[in-house]
Structure 1
Amino acid sequence: MMLLTSLGLALALSLVIEAVEGGSARPVSRRPADLAIRFLGYALVMAFWFQFSWRPWLAGASCVLTILILTIVSRLKRTIIGEPLVFSDFALLRQVPRHPELYYTRPLTDPRMAGPILVALVLVGAWYAIEPTILPVEPSVAVLALFALPLGFLTLVALSAEGPAARASARLFPAPALVADVARFGLPATIIGYALRWRVLRRGESIPPPPRVAPGRDRVLVVVQLESFVDPRRLGGPPLPLMDMVSRRAAQYGRLRVPAHGAYTMRTEHAVLTGRDAGDLGFGLFDPYLTHGGREPESLPARAREAGFETLFVHPFHRDFFNRAEVVTRLGFDRLIMEEAFGDAPRVGPYVSDLALAERVLAEVRGRSTPLFLFCVTMENHGPWKPGRLPGIDDPLSQYLTHVKNTGLAVERLVDGLEGLDAILCVFGDHAPALPNCRPGFGDTATDYAIFRFGPGQAVAPLRRDLSADALGRQLRGCLASDTGA
């Protein structure tokens, strides 16, 4: 009886939390079937905590606190990035203690983080001592009970892969519709449902091998993914000389529709490197690297390698971030140059300067002995932009504009350094910056891109053509064939 009472109270309070957070903008669906799924999500959260203590009121309080925390974090994410929490975000949790500055939080050693965590642990310990367990007294029954809930969760996951449970899950969540599903079923049920659907579809997806590409001429293809890059005039900033150069000198340029706003670099990166539309990824669209781990034989670096190019990935940041080193190696990159190679490189703010990165890219181009495909990811203008980042500049927009000016100079340096070579340079922004004056919906998630062609007979009138990130990736494949240009 005590367990049912605590469960009922936990479900009611969880519903109130989500209803208050959603308000009139995202009202709770009152359809009985939708409410049933929502309450099932809450109940699974409570059951998860209950298995560790067998204390009903502790489990109920943990459930309510979990829903509250998920709701607060999801609201913050919605404000900055434009979408609620999703299952793939939990795979990134291991990165938060390693790189707290990138997740708008503080190190675990900071008293403002360590203090509340220690207080919470003390409270949980005290609650364990005060509330009696309802675990059966008889030892053999107690052991069976302890294993029952974990086995129940494992059974739920196993059943979701096929049969009636899989069909029911597919009816509830036929395709990703994150905002609508959270409004209908609640955040916990949507997170769990999407994770189960992702697991099933990931297991069943097969990726066809790429067609063979003819070997290219002795040329260089350099693709640079510019962190948080958009034309600063769109943010109310001053004109950037690079943008005038683009409109005069680039073979092709325009707006680039990318799969996210303010974050999720890997979505745009994956779209360009594979040419796959986010809509074709199903529930894997939220984190394509988590879904495939780089096992995509039709990727741009794999095709470049097939065409006789050396493939090189350059990024002046940690190899473990997004599990990038492992993923890009599977994608087809022969060689990686990452943070450890930039130990003495100058920094602007906390990260390696874009100009220093451009010089390293040009050094690799000059030192090549074969056709080269080089994919570079910049880091200087990564958020958050907050006081103390740059001396004498505390305003977030001013910090961003300072960095984006350096990005422009770095691209100009690449253009100058590639002049006279049989080379192609493509630059593009991965997503718009998460700035106070650049919130979700800005520019329909569009950034900017440009393709420059160098060498004899490559002078053409600039072409303005807006693209999606995956379409840009497909176009870049043509640069690998012997009889094509950009």
Structure 2
Amino acid sequence: MRTGMGLWLLACMSAALYGAFLAVCGNGGVAMVLALAVQALLAVASNAKHAMLGEPLLFSDLALVGAVFRHPQFYLSAVRLSHRIAAGIVAAVLLALVAWLSVADIASHMAGLALAIGALVTLAITLRLASPGRLVPDARAHADTRRFGLLAALLLFWLRWRESRDPPPCPALPRAAPPAPPELVVMIQCESFADPEELFANPALALRSLGNARAKAWRWGNLHVSGFGAYTMRTEYGVLFGRGEEELGFRRFDPFLTAVGEASYALPARLQAEGGPGWRSLFVHPHDMRFYGRDRIMPAGGFAELVGEDRFAPPGPGEGRYVTDAAMADEIIALAAAASGPTLLYAVTIENHGPWETQGGEDLVEGYMRLVRRSDAMLGDLLDRIAGLSRPALLVFFGDHRPSIPGATAPGGDRHTPYVMVRMDAAGRILPGDDARADLTPAQLHHAVLDAVLGTPLTPAG
């Protein structure tokens, strides 16, 4: 049920849209249709997103519009070619129709401009008297979209996000010296990696290397990620920067938008600040580093080198659309073997990115299973090959989010993915933990890694 304030904000924003379109085309009927069409398009997009990912359209999603065209393989590949062609034809026809129906009546254009300005001024006064901080004190996307409506919620959340400020620089904490600290830390953020035995309620789908890693793990459990089927950057930010959703507030929806201002919290920066300047960190991702702004964020956070798509050969015949996990494992081991001092390798895989293709009569679940087994094989391969490096090491392996597979997985219910932390000594022997399962958030995993490498803080953080 919409609140009175929600209806008032909708009226102001609708009037501003109508006035803007009237100022452009001078035709009242066309302006009305366009204003309604914008709202209908947003509603359709929000409903589709909710069905696939379990949350409404957010202001931060609009920042990804450009990425749809810069990286179409992640987005448009999910839409049939015939549908893309049809959408292009419809868009061209609509533009031509609007141009044909536009009129050169200066009075209509000026009336539209006056209406748009008046509506925006009224909206600004309303938000000054009833501040966004009072209207939406907390980031509750579902509840606030129901209360205020989609259009008003987009505006209010964006305003609250703009009000947020960078935290003070991260303090260096005194720590107790850890037993047998690792000199090599390898962290694998595995695309769409989930436990299929749990995901599909089928024990026959258990992953062998995941089970083996859990048996050897110093620590293991569920990683409580916030996104379903997407939003890699939320998990990635949490693990790399260690700030939880409560601390982030309205930044939580896309924390990469503001991550540069929080660079001192990044894992590489903290390793250098608290572990010494000898630590060197490398970020490995076989894709365009401009995606999500990683080309800016990772160097700001202390990564000395970005190992991107230019270091990998394109996938061969039968290997799919993306660089394989096997190729990733080879590059990671080569980098680890070449490292001469304390080193962090943070790798983001891509092979198991949806939408999942089918081969030889497979269904979508079988297509996913074929790729997740390759990720599982990479985990086993890394366990063996890191042990062979004869260096004290820590391997951290986790899934960024569960897959969104139409007809097989749904966003309601559990969202967690598995994680394992496996420690090895200089002889490659497993250093066992207490065999206790510990379910963590991505931010808590960040602190677990710091504690394993640098020791537990002598004073509580924050």
Query: Scaled by the length of structure 2, what TM-score is found?
Result: 0.87
**Cα-Cα RMSD:** 2.9
After superposition, the C-alpha distances for 1:383-422 in whole angstroms (9 at most, x for unaligned) are 112xxx3532542111110000000000111100111320
Alignment of 1:275-354 (within 5 A): 275-293=242-260, 295-306=262-273, 307=275, 308-344=278-314, 346=316, 348-354=319-325
How many matched pairs? 439
- The alpha-carbon deviation at position 230 of structure 1 amounts to 0.8
C-alpha separation in 1, matches of 2:343 and 2:220: 23
C-alpha separation in 1, matches of 2:340 and 2:252: 37
Q: Runs of 4+ in structure 1 displaced over 4 angstroms?
A: 106-110, 144-157, 212-218, 344-347
C-alpha separation in 1, matches of 2:96 and 2:358: 39
1:209 to 162, 170, 174: 170
Q: Which amino acid aligns with 1:338?
A: G
Residues 1:375 and 2:354 are matched in the alignment:
no
Q: Percentage identity across aligned positions?
A: 31
CA contact (8 A) 1:97 1:108 kept: no
C-alpha separation in 1, matches of 2:173 and 2:134: 39
Residues 1:465 and 2:434 are matched in the alignment:
no
1:65 alignment partner in structure 2: 37
**Is there any run of 5+ residues in structure 1 with no aligned partner, and where?**
1-27, 137-141
Alignment of 1:171-186 (within 5 A): 171-186=134-149
1:397 alignment partner in structure 2: 365
Alignment of 1:230-245 (within 5 A): 230-236=194-200, 238-245=205-212
C-alpha separation in 2, matches of 1:71 and 1:199: 23
Note closer, same or farther for the CA distance 1:434–1:301 as it changes in structure 2 (3 Å cut). Answer: same
Residues 1:95 and 2:56 are matched in the alignment:
no
CA contact (8 A) 1:221 1:479 kept: no
1:3 alignment partner in structure 2: none
Which gives a bigger RCO, structure 1 or 2 (Cα 8 Å, sep 6+)?
Answer: 2
Residues 1:264 and 2:227 are matched in the alignment:
no
C-alpha separation in 2, matches of 1:51 and 1:213: 62
Q: Which amino acid aligns with 1:413?
A: D
Query: Scaled by the length of structure 1, what TM-score is found?
Result: 0.83
**Is there any run of 5+ residues in structure 2 with no aligned partner, and where?**
458-462
C-alpha separation in 1, matches of 2:376 and 2:412: 25
1:121 alignment partner in structure 2: 95
1:428 is paired with a residue whose SS is strand
Q: Which amino acid aligns with 2:69?
A: P
Q: Which amino acid aligns with 2:183?
A: R
C-alpha separation in 2, matches of 1:109 and 1:435: 20
Note closer, same or farther for the CA distance 1:218–1:434 as it changes in structure 2 (3 Å cut). Answer: closer
C-alpha separation in 2, matches of 1:167 and 1:372: 51
Note closer, same or farther for the CA distance 1:483–1:114 as it changes in structure 2 (3 Å cut). Answer: closer
- The alpha-carbon deviation at position 56 of structure 1 amounts to 2.8
CA contact (8 A) 2:10 2:149 kept: yes
C-alpha separation in 1, matches of 2:122 and 2:391: 60
C-alpha separation in 1, matches of 2:234 and 2:23: 36
1:296 is paired with a residue whose SS is helix
- The alpha-carbon deviation at position 213 of structure 1 amounts to 6.9
